[in-house]
Amino acid sequence: MKWSGMLDPVWAAMAPTANGSNSQWLQESMAPRVNGSKSQWLQPSMAPRVNGSNRQWLQESMAPTVNGSQSQWLHPPMAPTANGSKSQWLQPSMAPRVNGSNRQLLHPPMAPRVNGSNRQLLHPPMAPRVNGSNRQWLQEPMAPRVNGSKSQWLQRPMAPRVNGSNRQLLHPPMAPRVNGSNSQWLQESMAPPVSSAGDLKLPICFTIE
């Protein structure tokens, strides 16, 4: 028996890699790795690790830890801490602290601070700052800057840059790059390239005998 066809090596259900980790599943099975930690579940059971912390629950029970802080609640009453700060509320009242900044509102009118920047609106008109960059729009037309890169679109056709990589599409056909990796698909269609040469290997011709 001989059968020939076309195989897309980065088929539905694979997510982009982070920091060079292996591909993982976006659907119910496995989440992307973070800093080389083992794969975890995105659905209720277990969340991805952060900096080697233990796995925690994404649903109401416990959220992932940040920099070794203790587990917190994603739903009321408490949100995860950042850099060892105290727990705060995710729902309207108080948001988690970032780098020891004061607590702010996640919902209008105010968003959490980032790197000590001033508080901004998460909803139009203004998004939180990133690394001291100017405030941008979360809604169209402009997304927050990343590492000082120029503003980009969160909606089609362009996504924010990551570490100076080129702008890519958030919606099909291409997702933002991570640490210079090649563009990948966010939707169920295509995942990151597995080739160190930096090419998306698609499609692959194969023969099964």
Q: What is the pTM of this model?
A: 0.10
Which sequence spans correspond to the domains of the chain? Answer: 1-16+120-209
The confidence score (pLDDT) of residue 88 equals 34
Give the closest residue to 9 by CA, choosing from 199, 143, 209: 199
Q: Classify burial at 124, counting beta carbons within 10 Å of its beta carbon; exposed 0-12, middle 13-18, buried 19 or more.
A: exposed
pLDDT one-digit tens code per residue, 5-29: 333 333 333 333 333 333 333 332 3
Q: Identify whether the C-beta of residue 149 lies closer than 8 Å to the C-beta of residue 160.
A: yes
